[in-house]
Structure formats: C-alpha cells, structure tokens
Amino acid sequence: MAEKLPTRREDFSEWYNQVVVRAELADYGPSRGSMIVRPYGYALWENIQAYLDKGFRQHGVRNAYFPLLIPESFIHKEAEHVEGFAPHLAVVTHAGGRELEEKLIVRPTSETIVNDSVKKWVHSYRDLPVLLNMWNSVVRWEMRTKLFLRTSEFLWQEGHTSHTTFAEADVFALQMLGVYRDFAENAAAVPVIAGRKSEAEKFAGAHTTYTLEALMGDRRALQSCTSHNLADNFARGFGIQYLDRDNALQYVSQTSFGLSTRFVGAIIMVHGDDQGLVLPPRLAPTQAVIVPIWRKEGERAQVLAAAARLRDALASTLRVELDAREGLTPGFKFNAWELRGVPLRIELGPRDIEKNQVVFARRDTGEKSFAPQADAAAGARALLESIQANLYARAKKFMDDNTFRIDAWEEFKARTAGEGGAGLLLAHWCGKTACEKEIQEETQATLRVIPFDQAKEEGRCVKCGDRSEGRVVFAKAY
Amino acid sequence: MAEKLPTRREDFSEWYNQVVVRAELADYGPSRGSMIVRPYGYALWENIQAYLDKGFRQHGVRNAYFPLLIPESFIHKEAEHVEGFAPHLAVVTHAGGRELEEKLIVRPTSETIVNDSVKKWVHSYRDLPVLLNMWNSVVRWEMRTKLFLRTSEFLWQEGHTSHTTFAEADVFALQMLGVYRDFAENAAAVPVIAGRKSEAEKFAGAHTTYTLEALMGDRRALQSCTSHNLADNFARGFGIQYLDRDNALQYVSQTSFGLSTRFVGAIIMVHGDDQGLVLPPRLAPTQAVIVPIWRKEGERAQVLAAAARLRDALASTLRVELDAREGLTPGFKFNAWELRGVPLRIELGPRDIEKNQVVFARRDTGEKSFAPQADAAAGARALLESIQANLYARAKKFMDDNTFRIDAWEEFKARTAGEGGAGLLLAHWCGKTACEKEIQEETQATLRVIPFDQAKEEGRCVKCGDRSEGRVVFAKAY
C-alpha cells in the first residue's frame, strides 16, 4: 500500500491494473487469461446481480441452469454463430480417462444448448413465451489479458427467450436493454448511449444487436452489454416450431441478452480517480466506513466503544464497516479505504464524542462535514444519495465534453491520431460495411452504436461522402 | 400430466425419475450425465443457497470466484487427491484453435487452484484466517446418470479456509458442519446423523472428513454434505507457509466443505409421496397456491377478482401464486400443484366468498380447514409452520423406525439381502479398512458415518469379532 498509484494521466492502463489488484477486486489466475475475483470484487458483482435479477424478474424472466459442456455439433447448427466463435473455443477431448466420441465445447455462450431443450418443451403457442436467464461463466479464449475487461473466462448472465412473433421478440430485446439502461444509469451511475450495432459488429447469429455504449476515463468507449433479437435464426437451425392459434406450424422468434463482469471494469474506469476506486453507493459492498481516531492510549477504549455503537446504529440501513484494526494510523486507513472506493468515511475522535458529533468525508469530492451523532444515519444516507447523483452528473458531463460532431475526414483522423482514447465521434456514415472497415483500419476507431435518439439529419458519410440519414457513434474502444 | 406416477413402493427409482421431470425440477441434457436445472428446481436451489450463504457469512466466510480450468500439474500436487479424482476428470486439450502446452482440467473441486492463490496472499499470521466460499459447478465424469444424485456436472458451493493451527481448522470444519446441520434440520426438515467418515470413505486429501447422513424414503442412506479438516496436506503440496508470532515459518491448516444439488434429491426422496413432491415450506419456491373455483361462467369474474385480492393480501408475507389458468378444471390444478409439492393449497369458490372464508388444504396430510378471509395470511403462516414441523417429525420417525442395532453377522446379512434399502444399521466395527471392505463386498452396505453422539459401548466387530468401542452406521446408500 506504501507505493503511490500511477496517475490516470501518466498511465491509465497501469493505473487500472494496479487499482484492480491493490483494491483486492481481482487477481491473475494461473492459466492464460484467467482471473480470480476476490471477495471485495465478488461482493460488488453480487450487488450488480441482485439489481439486474430483480429487473429481469419484473419481466417474468426466471433463472435456470444449462450444462457447461456443449456437444461440438451444436455449435455448427447456426452458420454465422460457429464462424464467430470457432477461434475462441476451449475443447474437451478426453473425459473419464477416455477419448470422447464427440468433443465437448466449454460453453462460450448457451444459445445452442438452451435451444436443444426449448425444442423439447415448446409445442404450442400456449407454451410461449419461454423466458430464461442463467448466471454462470463462459470461456472464450483470449491471448491478451486485462482483468475484468478481457479474460478467457468471465462471469455474466445470459438471458434466452422464445416468443411467438418477431415483433414480440424485438419488443422484449428492447425491454431487456431497458433493464440494463436502468441499471447502468441508476445503480452504477454510468451514463450510456443506447442504440443498435452495425451488421459488422452485431452478435454472430443475431438479426439485430442492441447495445449500451459508455465512455471510460481515458476517453475510450466500452460496450456495456448487448441484447439481441435473434429472429428465427437459431430456431431454424434447431427446428423449434410451435402450433399457432390457427394450428399452423411456425418457428419461434428469440432473444438473448448478456451483461458480464466487464461492467465492473466500466465502473472502475468511469468513476475512479488518482487515489483509486470510487464506487457508486448503490453498488458499493461497503457504503460507509467508520474510522475511530485516538491520540493517547487512554482514549482508545472510549473511542472504540462509541464507534461500535455508531456502527450498530447505522447497520440497519447502511452497509457499514468499522475499521478497528490495531497498529495502523488513521491516515493509513484513510488511504486504504480511498483506494477501495468506499463512498463515505465517518471519522470519530475524542473531541467529536465530546461534541456529540461525527465527521463525514465524501470519497467523490473529498468534502468534509459534521453531523450530530443522533442524525448520523439520516445524514449518511442523504450524503450517499448526493454522492450517487454527483457521480452520474460528473460522468455525464465528462461524456458530453468528450462527444464531438465530426464532419470532415481530416478532422476524424486528427481526433483519432495517437495512442489514447478519442472520445465519442458523432459522424455521418453511409451504412456500408466496407466503409466502416476502412475507417477502422485507418484510425482504429470502430462503429460503436447507431443511437436511437439521434435527430434525423441528412448528411454525407465522413469517409466516402455518400448519402447518410443520421449520425452514428465511432470511438476507439476496449 | 394425465398418466399416474408409479407408487414409491412399486418402483421408487422410477417414481423419483418421473417426479423430477414431471414436476419440472430438472431435465436430461444432451451429453452424457448432464442435467438441466429448470426454473422450478433452480428456485428451490436459490432458496437453499440463500439459507446456507447466510450461515456461512455469520462465520465470516466471504464469496469469491476462482477459474474453471485448472492446470493439470496442480492436481498432482497432493498425492491422494490426484488418485481420488483422476478417473473422473474432463480434460481441455485444445483452445483458441491450438493444442495447449499444458492440459487444463475442468474443475472437479477447487482445493488446488484456491491454494495457488492463497499462497500468494498469505505471508503472516495477520493474514489468517482466509475464509472463502464459491457457488459454482464442478465436473466429475460419471457413466450412469441420476438427476440431482449422480450427474457429470453438478451445482454446489465449495468453501476453502486457511488457519494458523490444526485445532482452529478442526473447530472451523465442525462449525461448517453445524451450518449444514441447521440447514438440513431446520430449513429442509431432513433429520441427519452427524459424525465423521472412515479412512476409506474420507475425501481424497483430507485428514478428517465430517459428514451428515440422511435416510431416504426407500431406506437407502444419502451423504448430505461433507466438511473436511485438510490439516496441512495441501499446504505442504503448495508450500503455503506463514510467519507466526514468534517469526517462525509454519504451514497453514485448512478446511474445505461442500453441499451440492444432490441435496435437492434428498428433499425429494425424504418428503415425497405417491402424489409427487412435498416441499418443506421454508425452501418451497411457492409456499401457497390459490386455486379459484367456479362452476358457472357468471361466477368467474367475481371469483378471480376475490382470488387476486387474496393473493395481494398474502404476497407480502408468503411466496404465493394464483393459478388463474383458463380451460383447466380445479381437480386438474389440484393434481398439478400436488405433483409440484406446494405445501399449502388455498381454495376459493363462490360459497367461500359469500361466507368470507377460504379453504386450506395441507399437502403433507391432505387435511382441510377453513379460515375467515381476514385471517387468511396469519392462518396460512401458522399452517406452513405446522407443515414444516410435521415434515421433520415424520421423517425423524421414519429414520428412527428404520434404524436397527445389529450384533450378529447373520442378522446384518439378512437385513441387507435383496435389492432395496436396508435402513441404518448400528453395528460394532473393529476400525480396520479390510473389514469395512469385506462388509461392503458381501452386503453392498458401506460405512456411512461414525456418529458423534453414540454412547461409548464395548463390543465386538460385527464382521471379525475384534474389539470395538462404539457402534458405527452402515447402510446401503446412494
């Protein structure tokens, strides 16, 4: 803990790597690309899970579990799907001491194995919709590792739903994007741009991929989640048909949607500062930490007793911790909790006890304030709400300040020159994949999202000059 | 749903298989030994998770996540461990389109990969204890499948802790057994016998394995969970040492403990009857179901409205569902909910509405009773408590009635003859593994548990006649 973090300006990437490990969110695993999520990081993930799970349930989605190992032939049943995933698969060839007749794939995503069952369960329109979700991990082989952002195995949820019509599936995919957006903005305080992916960037096997794009502190974009309208692409591959009200056989229309521990990376990179993590209060494993302060040994017992009473008074409405560790200075503890991003620090010393007060120190602004001990709980809750709102406002302003309308190709190239992030570039695009690829090759910027709420605006593609009907978002991205 | 279940007496195994599938707890997956946990079964598992998780947390255990894929060399670092697990491993040989330099094992349990990290995190006695738990799935290849009881992949939790001393680890392993026992008896209403495993039956790599043994409805025993004192067996293999207060290097002492979806099988087989599942109220995904009853079409709207009001009145204190499905008779619905084991059915018809009453029907006894609508919530809660207590008492009586003190080998053989279960056989045993093996070979009965609370009693081994100091529990088991 003694060494200082690099500043974000000096080396954002190294700042990130050190924050993740030193705040004990995660650590590197032994095999390539693997990650250990430590208790502090996992508690954050559990809070993310709880918030999202409630959102899914409100739409009738129910949790289930499907096998980890998928027969290789399943992956081949949807042509685009196999093409997208084949290079990243981990393959079990031996089990129980023998070579397997059919290889098994460690699940990279579960569309295929879910569909193998849905086919057995769905016969009539009365069996629809089927609204399933899984919390699990998936394996997609990666050569480069970045904790939370790019690992060979990651934790996520994957939703899989089947519906009677294309329109119903489309509405549902958008509703799930709404669950994600509510989570991102209201729980994680991460502003996002909602829209759809281009053909080149959509999920392997999807008709349409909806997404939320966020901007990180180094001005790179990050895809926060995806929600896919799969149409009947997988249903045809797996032969999932139902009898409609007129007794005619129809293919089901499907969706899938996922959000992963990648989002933990977004929280770190959107809110963190040079002292370390800054966690949004609604997701923080510890919302407030009480640091007792004494100078003379004689004060110790009284201060610790008062601090324990304060913790007990707060514990029913807050996730609060008391740092009663011996042999560490208050200053050391302040730094440690700042590194871990706890939103609110509560200091309590002999003079505070005399005055019947506590000292609040906000993690986001560093501001200090005082409150009578009797009002500590209400005061802390109000401050946490204020911190939550401030984190969102701050991140939104940063995103707005780094969103640029670009009309000339030279300007586009200038903005994206150099190593760092380039913000969000709102530019006209002709709709052609070839043009999108050329932009990427020349600038490393990719088409992140075709936003829902762009004003219709006639224009000319920033690259080729062909006609365009609206701006899309390009960015250098994770 | 139309066909009747086989009775438990006719064919317990087939009764079990059909209950699991027809109650929609689980289904067979496509590859050998794989299982799909459907939403109803998964909701039951989530309730099990919530109860246990709270128990672990009260002892300071925190959740984390370790990688699925374990380098093959890790498995070899504890000699007994590799011997026990090698025949059941699934092996990833290829990933990312290439053959791997070192094969990766799909985790069969995580002692090895956890220890690889604990070694990095632990340096001093101040870093101890490390109290970790994971909710995940593990793969242990099986040739025969039985849903929940024997599958190649199963869901479980695995706890892994490190301590300064052998004694502390031993106490902790026993505390975790206490968490399991509280869960089994008070949440699942499953009576158990607590004790330790024999040398032959203990976990591969453990110093001592503690366990809870339960008796199923077919008089076969089932191991409900295990909690291991690992001593420093793995710590030596992985070189996990810490500096103690006297600055001397010591190996850590460790525990691990697990409970799996196997316990769902125990709940089914302990409480189920010829109509299907009977779920203990504290774990039931749906505790009470309201079935509205009308004979004339004109009554329908009024009854459904009253039923919806009743559901809303109950929903704040109970997990309640309203079965408002159209086109199904009340009798059909009764059977369907009985099959699914919902503890309490609440009937509501026009005459009940007139009389301002509801009809309660208990799943465990079939008893019906009436309550004023205004008291429905309190009445339902009281009945659920009564059902919970009755399920435990009934299962305890069944276990006691099927526990036999056996002193003669001929009697032991007679009791264990034939195909079915044989109850719990309390017999003297000399302590020799050879004798234990002979008993198993001749009778299929295995030594399930050496109980904690057997009176010390001098005796003679039921097999060889050598001296023994107490009785142990033999049984034919799952």
How big is the CA angle at A402 (ends A400 and A408), to the nearest 5 degrees? 115
Cross-strand partners of A467: A460
Picking from B29, B71, B155, the nearest residue to A30 by CB comes out as: B71
CA–chain centroid gap for A151, Å, is 14
Contact residues on chain A for B155, CB-CB shorter than 8 A: 65
How far apart are the C-alpha atoms of B87 and B152, rounded to whole Å? 12
CB-CB under 8 Å, A62 with B35 = no
Q: Is residue B343 a contact partner of residue B288, using CB atoms and an 8 Å limit?
A: yes
Q: Which fold has domain B288-386?
A: Rossmann fold (3.40.50)
Write out the DSSP string of B133-199. EEEEEEE---SS-BTTTB-SEEEEEEEEEEESSHHHHHHHHHHHHHHHHHIIIIIS----EEEE--T
Model confidence over A17-31: pLDDT tens digits? Answer: 999 999 999 999 998
Model confidence over A164-200: pLDDT tens digits? Answer: 999 999 999 999 999 999 999 999 999 999 999 999 9
Tell me which amino acid residue B376 is: A
CB-CB under 8 Å, B39 with A66 = no
Other CB atoms within a 10 A radius of the CB of residue A49 amount to 15
Q: Tokens 């195909």 label which residue?
A: B419
pLDDT at A438 over 90: yes
Six-digit token string for A418: 């150099």
Q: Which CATH superfamily is domain A404-475 in?
A: C-terminal domain of ProRS (3.30.110.30)
Other CB atoms within a 10 A radius of the CB of residue B431 amount to 17
Alpha helices in B272-359 (DSSP H): 297-314, 330-339, 350-354
Contact residues on chain A for B36, CB-CB shorter than 8 A: 64-67, 117
Which one is the CATH code of A12-271: 3.90.700.10, 3.30.420.40, 3.30.930.10, 1.10.3720.10? 3.30.930.10
Picking from B34, B64, B141, the nearest residue to A37 by CB comes out as: B64
Q: Is residue B144 a contact partner of residue B129, using CB atoms and an 8 Å limit?
A: no
Model confidence over B191-212: pLDDT tens digits? Answer: 999 999 999 999 988 999 999 9
How far apart are the C-alpha atoms of B208 and B449, rounded to whole Å? 12
Phi/psi of residue B43, each to 5°?
-65, -40
How far apart are the C-alpha atoms of A284 and A132, rounded to whole Å? 28
Coil, helix or strand at residue B376: helix
How far apart are the C-alpha atoms of A452 and B280, rounded to whole Å? 49
- Average pLDDT score, chain A: 96
- What b/e sequence results for B89-99 when a residue is b if at least 16 CB atoms lie within 10 Å of its CB, and e otherwise? bbbbbbbbeee
Interface test with B, best of A65, A85, A151 (most B CBs within 10 A): A65
Picking from A34, A39, A117, the nearest residue to B64 by CB comes out as: A39
| Shortest CA gap A469–chain B (Å) | 40
How far apart are the C-alpha atoms of B194 and B210, rounded to whole Å? 8
Nearest CA in chain A to B43: A63
pLDDT bin (cut points 50, 70, 90) of residue A81 is confident
Contact residues on chain B for A43, CB-CB shorter than 8 A: 62-63
Q: Where in chain B is the domain with CATH 3.40.50.800?
A: 288-386
Write out the DSSP string of A142-189. -SS-BTTTB-SEEEEEEEEEEESSHHHHHHHHHHHHHHHHHIIIIIS-
Mean pLDDT of A375-396: 98
Interface test with B, best of A54, A68, A148 (most B CBs within 10 A): A68
Model confidence over A48-74: pLDDT tens digits? Answer: 999 999 999 999 999 999 999 999 999
Task: Please tell me the CATH code under which domain B403-475 is placed.
Answer: 3.30.110.30
| Shortest CA gap A223–chain B (Å) | 23
For chain B, the helix, strand and coil percentages under 3-state DSSP, each to the nearest 5: 35, 30, 35
pLDDT at A407: 96
Nearest CA in chain B to A24: B121
- CB within 8 Å of B269: residues ≥ 6 apart: B12, B16, B216, B217, B218, B222
| Shortest CA gap A392–chain B (Å) | 28
Interface test with A, best of B44, B68, B148 (most A CBs within 10 A): B68
CB-CB under 8 Å, B89 with A96 = yes
Model confidence over A294-342: pLDDT tens digits? Answer: 988 899 999 999 999 999 999 999 999 999 998 899 999 999 999 999 9
How far apart are the C-alpha atoms of B304 and B302, rounded to whole Å? 6
| Shortest CA gap B21–chain A (Å) | 12
Picking from B38, B113, B137, the nearest residue to A64 by CB comes out as: B38
Alpha helices in A431-472 (DSSP H): 433-443
Question: What is the maximum alpha-carbon separation in chain B?
Answer: 85
Six-digit token string for A197: 């992916």
| Shortest CA gap B137–chain A (Å) | 8
How far apart are the C-alpha atoms of B438 and B53, rounded to whole Å? 40
How far apart are the C-alpha atoms of B93 and B353, rounded to whole Å? 66
pLDDT bin (cut points 50, 70, 90) of residue A3 is confident
How far apart are the C-alpha atoms of B332 and B335, rounded to whole Å? 5
Picking from A27, A63, A132, the nearest residue to B46 by CB comes out as: A63
Six-digit token string for A188: 């994680």
Contact residues on chain B for A155, CB-CB shorter than 8 A: 65
Contact residues on chain A for B85, CB-CB shorter than 8 A: none
pLDDT bin (cut points 50, 70, 90) of residue B2 is low
How far apart are the C-alpha atoms of B467 and B458, rounded to whole Å? 7
How many contacts does A have with B, using Cβ atoms within 8 A? 164
pLDDT bin (cut points 50, 70, 90) of residue A204 is confident
pLDDT bin (cut points 50, 70, 90) of residue A143 is confident
Class of the domain covering A288-398: alpha beta
Contact residues on chain A for B46, CB-CB shorter than 8 A: 63
How big is the CA angle at B108 (ends B104 and B111), to the nearest 5 degrees? 90
* DSSP type of residue A124: B
Nearest CA in chain A to B24: A121
- CB within 8 Å of A262: residues ≥ 6 apart: A148, A149, A154, A156, A222, A223, A224
pLDDT at A1: 47
Interface test with B, best of A31, A42, A325 (most B CBs within 10 A): A31
Picking from A62, A67, A96, the nearest residue to B153 by CB comes out as: A67
Contact residues on chain A for B102, CB-CB shorter than 8 A: 31
Q: Which has the closest alpha carbon to A177: A194, A159, A197?
A: A194
- CB within 8 Å of B278: residues ≥ 6 apart: B271, B272, B341, B343, B363, B364, B391
How far apart are the C-alpha atoms of B100 and B326, rounded to whole Å? 57
Phi-psi category of residue B271: left, alpha or beta, with phi > 0 → left and psi -120 to 50 → alpha? alpha
pLDDT at B3: 80
pLDDT bin (cut points 50, 70, 90) of residue A2 is low
Check whether the bond before B129 is cis (ω within 30° of 0).
Answer: yes
Q: Which has the closest alpha carbon to A475: A265, A213, A226?
A: A213
Six-digit token string for A374: 């009797």
Model confidence over B56-111: pLDDT tens digits? Answer: 999 999 999 999 999 999 988 877 777 878 889 999 999 999 999 999 999 999 99
Q: Which has the closest alpha carbon to A449: A257, A228, A226, A193?
A: A193
CA–chain centroid gap for A465, Å, is 35
How far apart are the C-alpha atoms of B71 and A31, rounded to whole Å? 7
CB-CB under 8 Å, A89 with B38 = no
Picking from A65, A120, A153, the nearest residue to B42 by CB comes out as: A65
Six-digit token string for B82: 């590799």
CB-CB under 8 Å, B67 with A30 = yes
Contact residues on chain A for B43, CB-CB shorter than 8 A: 62-63
Picking from A66, A87, A90, the nearest residue to B69 by CB comes out as: A90
Mean pLDDT of B161-181: 98
Q: Where in chain A is the domain with CATH 3.40.50.800?
A: 288-398
Contact residues on chain B for A91, CB-CB shorter than 8 A: 92-95
How far apart are the C-alpha atoms of A447 and A440, rounded to whole Å? 8
Q: Where in chain B is the domain with CATH 3.30.930.10?
A: 12-271
CB-CB under 8 Å, B90 with A90 = no
Contact residues on chain A for B38, CB-CB shorter than 8 A: 64
Helices B262-271 and B376-401: angle between axes, nearest 10 degrees:
90
Interface test with B, best of A92, A117, A157 (most B CBs within 10 A): A92
**Helix (H) or strand (E) run with residue A263 in it:** helix A262-271
Cross-strand partners of B410: none
pLDDT at B1 over 70: no
CB-CB under 8 Å, B113 with A67 = no
pLDDT at B215 over 90: yes
First-to-last alpha carbon distance for chain A, in angstroms, is: 28
| Shortest CA gap B149–chain A (Å) | 15
